[in-house]
Amino acid sequence: MSPTMYIAGAGGQLGTALRAVSAANADVRALTSADIDITDASSVTSALAGLRADDVVLNCAAFTNVDGAESDPDGAYAVNRDGPAYLARSTAAAGAWLIHVSTDYVFAGAAATDAGPRRTRPYEPDDVTGIPETVYGASKLAGERAVLDADPTATVVRTAWVYTGGPDSPDFVGTMRRLEAQRDELTVVDDQTGSPTYAVDLAAALWGLASVGRRDRTAGAVLHATNEGSVTWHTVAQAVFAEIGADPGRVRPCTTHQFPRPAPRPAFSVLSGRSWADAGLTPLRDWRSALHAAIADPGPSLDTLTP
């Protein structure tokens, strides 16, 4: 009997992409919020009742509202720490494999508004995370630790700046596409550096990881997976304009000080892809090629998006 691939958070951005790029003959069980409440241990146990030792659980359910987490820490920790822990207990009991998706925000780094020297070296998985400056980051870091404590054979995959990029997408790329038609000029922060990651590319990478199975470099490991390269949000916005035939010069740079948010944003949160390649996995393509593909092909529909 072939393994079953369970997707927790199947109605969200990454979950939708995972369903869209899965192999036609794969046995995939898409679990949306209507099928599983990962913050409820009994709901998790019920939804994963048929879990077998060869099965894989891909967890992309998360509380991703970075600013909203500052005013709702209980909600953030329930989804980002407690939920993954319940999933890990189920996979550990069944001998199944949990692949848990995390974030660049687990690193403390320096806020974009901080004075002083900025980091320029991409983060490796074994770099010290420190104490994240946001509730979102702290809750995701707690989730990583809870997962590996409950199931030492699980794999944590950190990623960053995920987008789908469709004209109706609520992510950064989709927002820039809409604002281009609404405003003569935009200002976008130019002092936050990261790696934009196309959800479809990330989904394909996660399926690639699932297909190689648990082995020395994946079981119990923390890996980083983003599209290659690093840029600022301002550069991404200019690239979006260029892709849709608009003048990139209409996007003006500004500082984070000029665009304050409830949660501090990291000045530099680039993740190194070395661990991914060292595990024998195919690196994701460069961010610019991925952006071109995202805009040329809107990718998986987000019509099924659920909270």
Q: Which of 77, 123, 136, 198 is catalytic?
A: 136
Whether 86 sits among the annotated catalytic residues: the reply is: no
Q: Report helix angle 287-296 to 233-243, nearest 10.
A: 40
| Token reading at 149 | 């404590």
User: What is the Cα–Cα distance from 196 to 146, expressed in whole angstroms?
Assistant: 27
Taking the CB of residue 285, how many other CB atoms lie within 10 A of it? 15
Q: Which residue has the tokens 């400056």?
A: 133
Q: What letter represents residue 292's amino acid?
A: H
- Quick check: 243 and 289 in contact, CB under 8 A? no
Q: CA end-to-end span of the chain, whole Å?
A: 33
Residue 214: CA atoms inside 13 Å, Cβ hemisphere, count? 20
- Positions annotated as catalytic residues are 136
